[in-house]
Amino acid sequence: MNSIIVFIFCLGYLAILLEQYTQLNKTALALITGAICWSIIAITSPSNSFIIDKLQHHMVDIGALMFFLLGAMTIVETIDIHDGFQNIASFIQTNNKLRLVSLVALISFFLSAILDNLTTTIVLMSILNKVVEDKKSKWLLLSLVIIAANAGGAWSPIGDVTTTMLWIGGQVTSWNIIHQTFLASFTSLAVASVLIYYKIDRQITIKKVLSQNEDFTSNNNERNIVLGIGVLSLLFVPLFKSITGLPPFMGMLFCLGLMWLITGFLHRNKKTEEKGLLSVSHALHKIDVQSILFFTGILLAVAALETIGSLGQIAIFLEQKLRAPTLIAAAVGVLSAIFDNIPLVAGLQNMYSLQQYPTDHYFWELLAFCAGTGGSIFIIGSAAGVIVMGIEKVSFSWYVKNISWIAFISFLTGIIVYILQQQF
């Protein structure tokens, strides 16, 4: 049974990766793959209630991520329809390739350490769509955003889910993970930035930053208020989690509701037509629901593998075959380019006690870096990559041909820098 599910998973993934050639919709393929995998588990399981409980458990996590994604995308879209990103877009709008690449890389890197790689990618996608005209340059810059956001999240205890897991689990402390992995993460970013810089055409076609709502742009105060509320809302989500202990999606939904009320109050005296165009309701209509469903299908398929124990077996296999902590952490990074890094890291957390590898041990820190940055190797390896693939239609084959080798080199360079840092 397990072999059949793994086969279905691989077949579905392959069909998604070959979408460019088969012309089959990847969202449909992802949903079908997830549904078939779970159906086989249910049909062959002796206890149907146990499988339903497992599915419901996974759907809690998936649903939380979907609501978080929905809230973040709506807040960003609300800022966008108010032209809130216009000043930021104008700031990075330049034909100077070095300046553009540097700004995109640094903004993504540091923003994802405060927020998370998913929210950061959504924000940068919105800004780059306003700035860059030609598709090739935009795709290369979005690929840099993926690598930078994943690298930025790896060194921050709140920037990446796996780093947060290790922090909450007591394997790492907040200051130590920043101190020990920042240089490796920044080196990974720098290497990728240099390589992508040379791949971008000498002359980048830049858009003229235009307003979406010509009648509204004269009111800079309202535009700046919405931008300020939106940015503060996104920054407030990690704080909300630390104060209440509730999942991040609750903070995001709270901030979305707040944004809804404030924008409604701001535009209460406007004409109905203009008020409608500037409302959160209008922003919701512009959200790419297809990308959210694609994300859901992918996560359901991966959850099926975790349920049958395949991902846990991978962690055991790594321990039996590799043994060396450095090799195990690096292998988890490479595998996270294909599979979800969360169950892989969770498996290793359960496998090794704090007596064997104490808090802030070399292994835990390297694992945080590798699990966070390894997902950049393939576009399906991280939430940032999946959302870019879903919304911007960046194909898997294009990413493999143009970016995977860059991400892999930056990944290896970061590991080398981390090892050297520990030695000296």
How far is the C-alpha of 71 from the C-alpha of 74, rounded, in Å? 5
Q: What Å distances lie between residue 328 and 16, 178, 317, 318, 348, CA to CA?
A: 28, 21, 10, 6, 10
Where residue 217 falls among pLDDT bands split at 50, 70, 90?
Answer: very low
The pLDDT of residue 20: 66
Closest CA to 384 of 399, 364, 397, 363: 399
Asked whether residue 218 carries a pLDDT value surpassing 50, the answer given is no
Domain extent listing, the chain: 2-423
Contact between residue 260 and residue 275 where contact means Cβ atoms under 8 Å apart: no
Query: Which residues fall within 8 angstroms of residue 315, CB to CB, at 6 or more apart?
Result: 332, 344, 347, 348, 351
Model confidence pLDDT, tens digit, residues 155-186: 887 677 778 778 766 788 878 888 889 999 99
Give the phi and the psi of residue 218 in degrees, each rounded to 5.
-70, -25
Average pLDDT over residues 113-124: 80
Model confidence pLDDT, tens digit, residues 275-288: 777 788 888 887 77
Model confidence pLDDT, tens digit, residues 323-333: 788 888 888 88
How far is the C-alpha of 303 from the C-alpha of 177, rounded, in Å? 28
The type of residue at 371 is A
pTM: 0.73
* Average confidence score pLDDT of the chain: 82
Contact between residue 248 and residue 120 where contact means Cβ atoms under 8 Å apart: no
Query: Which residues fall within 8 angstroms of residue 364, CB to CB, at 6 or more apart?
Result: 166, 171, 172, 357
Query: Which residues fall within 8 angstroms of residue 362, CB to CB, at 6 or more apart?
Result: 325, 422
The pLDDT of residue 167: 77
Where residue 45 falls among pLDDT bands split at 50, 70, 90?
Answer: confident
Tokens 């070959």 appear where?
A: 18
Average pLDDT over residues 6-19: 82
Give the phi and the psi of residue 324 in degrees, each rounded to 5.
-65, 130
Where residue 420 falls among pLDDT bands split at 50, 70, 90?
Answer: very high
Model confidence pLDDT, tens digit, residues 88-111: 777 777 777 888 899 999 989 988
What is the 3-state secondary structure of 213-241?
Answer: CCCCCCCHHHHHHHHHHHHHHHHHHHHHH
Ordered DSSP codes for 338-405 = TS-HHHHHHHHHHHS-TTTS-TT-HHHHHHHHHHHHGGGSSGGGSHHHHHHHHHH---HHHHIIIIIH
Model confidence pLDDT, tens digit, residues 75-84: 888 887 877 7
